[in-house]
Amino acid sequence: MIHPMEERYRTEIADIFEESSRIKKMVQVELALAQAHVDQGILTQEEFNRLFKSKNKVTVELVKEIEKKTHHDVMALVEALTRVSRCDKVHIGATSSDIVDTALALQLREANQVIIADLWILKNLLLSKAEETKSLVCIGRTHGQHAIPMTFGMKFALWAYELADCLIEINRMKFYGKMSGAVGTFASFGENGIHIQAKVLQNLGLSVPLITNQVVSRIFIAKYLFQLIAVVSIIDKMAREIRNLQRSEIQEIAEPFAETQTGSSTMPHKRNPVLSENLCSLAKRVRTNILPALENISLEHERDLTNSANERIIIPETVILTHFMVKRMTKILAGLEFYHKNIRKNVQIDPAIFMEKKMVELVTHQGLGRQAAYSQAKNYVSDEKIDPESYIGLSGQIILKTIEALRSN
């Protein structure tokens, strides 16, 4: 094993991108094309039945063996399917990208369904945390400094809102295949080419593009990866907050820590936020994949091969690592610990956090101008003890409104 995604960061989605799964989906596309050719009278039903019954005989080992001779993965697949089915009417009219891009769309659609399901779990967990902590007053921080009081529920509700927006966009994603021939003109399929493409893609449950060249436009892949990377960046944000609030001098919350877990090999007292740090580290890696995805959009003429090699890396890597990060953050939040004593202590460290409250009171109750009140507010705060709960604004209403809105869609 070279890439840690193979084991350390592997999720069930990895199975979808294994070579055996890819080959099965390519065979599935070839069969969908063959079925369309039956409708056109190019194949007989008996010939199609031979192809269909042989689909599971096309193995990775067989395709790889043939590929040593052809040096072409799709031609190796076509020869393997022809050999095991004893039917030579395979791949009629199709170019390699018709099969490869359509199989990729099947992989992405399947993986996307898994990601959506686990994103829903994470979003709903955030909403539950928001509800549980809607009245848990804490200090808000801006620029790393104490600002004014808020509640922990605001943090969780905001994260849920951000993820929910990504979920909407991910749900809207369309996965396009193609069956339009060498440069997208349907020349090899004749007058019924548009109908054949529609038949193939509809049978596979994929979206039908208005137009392609030899490949499906890479703008659609880049847009999908961007949405996943947006999710990754939100998880990165959450993990950073947990890490910072777990600092020894703050210690308001902490990620779960197993009873037998070791924090440091030399300092027994350490409880390092390694799960959150791991997510921040992975986010740095995943975000870099958007650059080649964007560069893949500008292929030369009707296509070149400069997208192919990097897509074999960036697509499964982005999808699998995004899913891993979603599942890990769900685990962190489910076991998150709160240190209520420290939360109360930190919100009361500096009475200056109530200067804004006093400034507004001087303007609204005593008629001072805003600038004069701004200058005088600090003289009042130093001598007056103010309950933090009295200055959390509409936090409770905001949280409940957010929970209601996000649980209903």
Active site residues: 143, 264
- The token pair at 284 is 């740095």
Amino acid at 123: K
Determine the Cα–Cα distance for residues 321 and 325; give it in Å rounded to an integer: 6
Determine the Cα–Cα distance for residues 123 and 125; give it in Å rounded to an integer: 5
Q: Quote the crossing angle between the two packed helices 193-204 and 19-39, to the nearest 10°.
A: 130
Determine the Cα–Cα distance for residues 59 and 396; give it in Å rounded to an integer: 58
Kind and range of the H or E run holding 356: helix 355-366
Q: Quote the crossing angle between the two packed helices 73-85 and 96-132, to the nearest 10°.
A: 100
Q: Are 258 and 276 in contact (CB under 8 A)?
A: no
Q: Is residue 268 helix, strand or coil? A: coil
Kind and range of the H or E run holding 149: strand 145-151
Of 67, 105, 58, 60, residue with least CA distance to 85: 58
